[in-house]
Amino acid sequence: MSSSKHILRILTNWPTSALRPDLSFNSSMLARYLPQSQSPPPPLPPNSSSLPPAPAPSDRQINALCTLLENRYAKEYPVSDAFLRPAFKPTYYEDLLREIEVAPTRSWFGRMVNRWKGFLRFS
């Protein structure tokens, strides 16, 4: 299978970010690698300040993307429970995950209230 087909298969299975669905890793990588595989780019004028075309992905790059997609490192090197529950605030990561899940659905007013809560801290 050619390298562009590998990249296409990996990036179509790549998860999208819940916080920024319009700005995703897979769309930027597809924009970088797919124009090479479809048709040659039109010639640019000599004064153009465009980026040079991206080189074809190597086998090592494709393998790295594959291992990240399959979560191979998280399975091989699991994180201990002591690491996930720091002494200063044991629910820190649980609160962070809950906030990431709620943030995309929060209204404008809810975002402003949270912003002001961050500015004004009563104790």
Q: Is the pLDDT of residue 90 over 90?
A: yes
Query: What's the pLDDT at 43?
Result: 57
10 and 35 both lie in a single domain: yes
Q: Which amino acid is at 66?
A: C
- Give the residue from 56, 71, 62 showing the smallest Cα distance to 10: 62
Full domain range(s) for residue 83: 79-123
Query: What's the pLDDT at 45?
Result: 56
90 and 117 both lie in a single domain: yes
What distance in Å separates the CA atoms of residue 97 and residue 111, rounded to the nearest whole number? 17
Query: What's the pLDDT at 3?
Result: 79
Q: Between 79 and 22, name the one with better pLDDT.
A: 79
5 and 26 both lie in a single domain: yes
Query: What's the pLDDT at 107?
Result: 92
Distance of CA 91 to the CA centre of its chain: 24
